[in-house]
Chain A
Amino acid sequence: MMEATLFAAAALIAAYVLAPAFRRMPAPAADRRAALEAAQRAALRALHYLELDWATGKLSDEDYRAQRATLEAETAQIIRQIGDAERIS
C-alpha cells in the first residue's frame, strides 16, 4: 500500500514538473520596463535624499543645485525611456 502511494505521488510530481516541457513557447524576453522602473525608483530616491541632505545643511546651495540638475536630467531621461518602452509594447 505504501509503495503504491509513493509511486502515485512520484507520478503526480513528474507530471506536474514535466508537463510544460512538452509545450513549445518562446522564453520571455528581458523586461526593459521593469529595469527602467527600478532605475527611476533609484533616481527618485537619490533626489529625495539630496533634498534632505541640503535641508539639514550637509550641502552648500551651489552643490545642491548642481547635483539636483544632474539627477533631474537623469530622471527625465529614464522617464522618457519608460515612455518609449510603453509605446513599443
Chain B
Amino acid sequence: MGEIGRFALLSAVAVACYGMVATVLGLRWRDGGLLESGRRAARAWALLIALASGALMTALLARDFSVRFVAAASESTQSLFYTITAFWGGHDGALLLWALTLAVYMVVGIRSLGPHPDLQGPATAVLLLIAAFFSILLVTASNPFAPVIPPPPDGRGLNPLLRNPWMAIHPPTLYLGFVGMSMPFAIAVAALVVGRLDATWVALARRWVLIGWMFLGLGLLFGAKWSYVVLGWGGYWVWDPVENAALMPWLTATAFLHSIQIQERRGSLAVWNVALVLLTFGLTIFGTFLVRSGVLSSIHAFAVSAIGYIFLAFLALLLVGSFALLAWRWDALKTGDPIESVISRESAFLANNLLFVVAAAVVFVGTIFPALTEATSGVKINVGPQYFNLVMVPIAVGILLLMGIGPLLPWRQATREQLARNFVLPAVTAILGALTLAALGIREPGPLLVFAGALFVSGTIVLEAARGTRVRMRRGEGPGLALLRLVFRNRRRYGGYIVHFGILLMLVGIATSSAFDTQGQATLGRGEQFRLRGYTFEYAGLTGWRVPGIEITEAAVHVWSGTTSLGTMRPQRYFYLTQGQPMHHVAIRSSPREDLYIILSEWTESGRATIRVLIHPMVSWLWAGGVVLLIGALLAAFPERQRRMGAS
C-alpha cells in the first residue's frame, strides 16, 4: 500500500504543477486546449488524492505497521471504528484528509463554474496552486506513507483523547469548513483577474461561503461537544488558540454573508466583500498554521510538526498576491449607491459587519498575544479567558441587538412610524422579560443583557413571521399552511431567521451555563451520600473490567432530585495500557433545564471514591441551537424557485 500511496502522491504533485502552468498559459495564450488540459489535471489530481487516501485507509485496516503513520496512529487492539478515524488522528493523515476534501470541492467547484468560462480558468489555476502546495507537503514534510524500518510488532495507538465519536466527526466537518473557503477565494481571485465582480460573482461567492460557513460552524460545535464530554472539566470553550483558529474565519464569513446582501441589492461594498472573502481564506490557512506549528500551546493540538511555518509562507504569498490584485482593481470596484440613511437595513448590516470584524480582530490579537510577547520579551504571556469575555460580551450583545433590528428595517430608509410599528412590541417584551428575570433574582448584567436581547430578537422574528403569515392567509390559506409556504417560498430570508433563532438558543445556553453553574466534590464510602443544589448523590461502589488495550473502572452513583429517583449514573475512568494514559468518561444526564455532569476523579484500594459533580443549566440549548442553525443554513442555501418569484 505504501508504494501505491507514494506513487499517487508523487503523481499528484506532477499533475497539480502541470495543471497550474497549463491553465495559466491557456489563459495567457487564450488556448482552449490548454485550459481543458488544466481542468483534466484537476480531475486527475482529485483521483490521485482519492487513490492515496484509499491506500492509507487500506494500510490502517490491514494494520500495516511498516507505514510510519499507521504505526503512530493505530495498534492491533484498536476497534475498527477508531482504526478508521485514525486516518485524521495524526498530522500526515489529517493533511491527506485536507487534500481529499479539497479534491471533492475542486471537482464539484470547477464543474459548477462551467457556465462562466471566464471565471473557470483563473479559479482552476488558483485551486491547482493550493492543490500543488498540499501535494508537495504530502510528499516532503508530511508524507503519510513514509516507511518504518524495521516495522514494529505493534503500533503506538491512537491518542486516547481522540477515541470519541465527536472527535471522529469534528475534524472532517472542520476541514469541510476550512477547505470550503478555498472555493470562494478562488472565485474572488478569478473575478479580480477578469475584473468582473457582478451579480454572477455575488451569487457564486455567497453559495460557496454559505457552505463553508455551515461546516465551519458545525465543526466548532462538534469540537465544543468533544471538549465537553471528553476533557472532563465540564466546559466546552476555553478560548484555546485552536478553537479561536476556527472561530475567526467563521466570524469574517458571517460578516460576508450579511454584507453581500448590500452588494446584491445596492451594488455597493464590492471591495469590502472581496476583502472579507480573501481574509476568511487567509484565516483558515492561519488556523492551520496555529494547529500544526505548535507555536501556541493548545488542548486541541495533537499533530504538531515543523510544517507550520511553511503554511505561514504560503499564507503570506496568497494574501500578498490576492490583496495586490484587489488594490489593482480598486477603482473599478467602487460602484453602487451610497447609503442614504443611518436608519436602514444596509446601515444595520454595515454596523453588524464592523462588529464581526472587530470580534475577529479581538480574537486574533488575544490568540497571537503569547507569541508576540515571547518574540519581544522572551516570556509567553497569555491574555486568558478574562480578556476574551470582557471584550467579546459587549460585542456579542451589540450583534444580538442588530440581529433583531436589521431584518425589520427596510432598505434605503425607515420612517419614525415604521420604527414604532416594528420595534415597540419586541422592545416592550424584552424590557418586561428582563424586569421579570431581575425580580426572580437574576441580576448579573451579562446574562440579563443576553436574555433581554434574546427576547427582543425572538420578538422581532415572531412578529415578522406573524405578519408574513397573515399576508398569506388573506389569500385563503390556513395559518399552518400559510406559515409553511411563507418559510419555504422565502427560504433565504426565513432560513436566515431560523439561523438567528439557533444563535439565540446558543447564546442563552452559553450565558446561562457560564453564569449559573454549580459544582461540588466529595470522597465517599459505599452507601454514603452528598447533596448539591437539591440533588442527592449516593455512591454505590466501584466495578472494574478490562477490554483489549484498556482497563475500565466505573463508579455507580444513585441520583435523586428531591425525593424523586433519577436512576443510576456511571462515570468511568479508562486507562489505556499502551499509552499509559488515563481518561475520564464522564456520566452526563442532560435535560433542557440542566445537565448533571459526574466525574470519577480518584479512588482508593478500600473502595472509597472521589466524585465530582457539576450542574450546568441549559447547556443542551447550545447543542439544540446548533441543530436549528444547521436547518436554517440548509434552507437558506437551497436555491429559491425563480418562476414563482417572477410571478409574484
Residues of A within 8 A of B32 (CB): 23, 25-28
Cβ contact of A45, chosen from B48, B196, B640, cutoff 8 A: B640
Q: Which residue of A lies closest to B464 (CB)?
A: A56
- A60 and B468 contact, Cβ closer than 8 Å, known pairs A27-B30, A49-B493: no
Residues of B within 8 A of A4 (CB): none
Residues of A within 8 A of B48 (CB): 13
A27-B35, A44-B646, A59-B410 known, 4 other contacts, Cβ within 8 Å? A23-B32, A38-B200, A39-B198, A58-B418
Cβ contact of B265, chosen from A23, A46, A55, cutoff 8 A: A46
Q: Which of B1-43 contact A (CB under 8 A)?
A: 3-4, 7, 11, 15, 18-19, 22, 26-27, 30-37, 40-41
Query: B467 near A31 (CB under 8 angstroms)?
Result: no
Query: B40 near A17 (CB under 8 angstroms)?
Result: yes
A41 at the interface (CB under 8 A from B): yes
Residues of A in contact with B (beta carbons under 8 Å apart): 2, 6, 9-10, 13, 16-31, 34-35, 38-39, 41-42, 44-53, 55-60, 63, 67
Query: B199 near A2 (CB under 8 angstroms)?
Result: no
* Complex A-B: 28 CB contacts under 8 Å: A6-B4, A9-B7, A10-B7, A16-B40, A17-B15, A19-B40, A21-B34, A23-B36, A24-B33, A25-B33, A27-B32, A27-B35, A30-B194, A30-B196, A31-B115, A38-B202, A38-B203, A39-B198, A39-B200, A41-B642, A42-B202, A45-B264, A49-B490, A49-B493, A52-B471, A58-B414, A58-B418, A63-B410
Interface hub of B30, B418, B645 (most chain A Cβ within 10 A): B645
Cβ contact of A17, chosen from B7, B35, B44, cutoff 8 A: B44
Residues of A within 8 A of B47 (CB): 13
B541 to chain A, nearest CB (A): 58
A81 to chain B, nearest CB (A): 12
Q: Which of B84-108 contact A (CB under 8 A)?
A: none
Residues of A within 8 A of B411 (CB): 50, 53, 67
Q: Which residue of B lies closest to A74 (CB)?
A: B267
- Of the stretches B116-124, B167-175, B374-382, the one at the interface is B116-124
Q: Which of B44-84 contact A (CB under 8 A)?
A: 44, 47-48
B233 to chain A, nearest CB (A): 46
Residues of B in contact with A (beta carbons under 8 Å apart): 3-4, 7, 11, 15, 18-19, 22, 26-27, 30-37, 40-41, 44, 47-48, 115-118, 121, 194, 196, 198-200, 202-203, 264-265, 408-415, 417-418, 421-422, 464, 467-468, 471, 490, 492-493, 640, 642, 645-646, 648
- A41 and B33 contact, Cβ closer than 8 Å, known pairs A56-B471, A58-B422: no
Query: B471 near A20 (CB under 8 angstroms)?
Result: no
A20 to chain B, nearest CB (A): 4
- A35 and B198 contact, Cβ closer than 8 Å, known pairs A27-B117, A56-B468, A67-B412: yes
Query: B31 near A27 (CB under 8 angstroms)?
Result: yes
For the complex, what is the distance from the CA of A58 to the CA of B460, rounded to whole Å? 12
Query: A27 near B116 (CB under 8 angstroms)?
Result: no
For the complex, what is the distance from the CA of A16 to the CA of B45, rounded to whole Å? 12
Query: B196 near A35 (CB under 8 angstroms)?
Result: yes
For the complex, what is the distance from the CA of A58 to the CA of B471, rounded to whole Å? 13
Residues of A within 8 A of B471 (CB): 52, 55-56
Query: A38 near B646 (CB under 8 angstroms)?
Result: no
B202 to chain A, nearest CB (A): 7
Query: B27 near A27 (CB under 8 angstroms)?
Result: yes
Q: Which residue of A lies closest to B642 (CB)?
A: A41
Query: B44 near A29 (CB under 8 angstroms)?
Result: no
Residues of B within 8 A of A56 (CB): 464, 467-468, 471
Residues of A within 8 A of B7 (CB): 6, 9-10
Q: Which residue of B lies closest to A13 (CB)?
A: B44
Q: Which residue of A lies closest to B198 (CB)?
A: A35
For the complex, what is the distance from the CA of A21 to the CA of B200, rounded to whole Å? 29
Query: B117 near A30 (CB under 8 angstroms)?
Result: yes
Residues of B within 8 A of A38 (CB): 198-200, 202-203
Residues of A within 8 A of B199 (CB): 35, 38-39, 41-42
Query: B18 near A27 (CB under 8 angstroms)?
Result: no
B374 to chain A, nearest CB (A): 46
Residues of B within 8 A of A31 (CB): 115-118
For the complex, what is the distance from the CA of A30 to the CA of B7, rounded to whole Å? 38
For the complex, what is the distance from the CA of A5 to the CA of B37, rounded to whole Å? 24
A51 to chain B, nearest CB (A): 6
A57 to chain B, nearest CB (A): 6
- A13 and B642 contact, Cβ closer than 8 Å, known pairs A29-B117, A63-B412: no
Interface hub of B4, B34, B202, B264 (most chain A Cβ within 10 A): B34
Residues of B within 8 A of A49 (CB): 490, 493
Residues of A within 8 A of B408 (CB): 58
B495 to chain A, nearest CB (A): 13
- A48 and B648 contact, Cβ closer than 8 Å, known pairs A27-B117, A27-B121, A30-B117: yes
For the complex, what is the distance from the CA of A45 to the CA of B22, rounded to whole Å? 39
Residues of B within 8 A of A67 (CB): 411-412
Query: B33 near A23 (CB under 8 angstroms)?
Result: yes
For the complex, what is the distance from the CA of A25 to the CA of B37, rounded to whole Å? 12
Residues of B within 8 A of A45 (CB): 264, 492, 640, 645
Q: Which residue of A lies closest to B265 (CB)?
A: A46
Q: Which residue of A lies closest to B648 (CB)?
A: A48
Q: Which residue of A lies closest to B12 (CB)?
A: A13
Residues of B within 8 A of A44 (CB): 642, 645-646
- A6 and B3 contact, Cβ closer than 8 Å, known pairs A31-B116, A56-B464, A58-B410: yes
For the complex, what is the distance from the CA of A67 to the CA of B266, rounded to whole Å? 11
B414 to chain A, nearest CB (A): 8
Residues of A within 8 A of B11 (CB): 10, 13
For the complex, what is the distance from the CA of A53 to the CA of B412, rounded to whole Å? 12
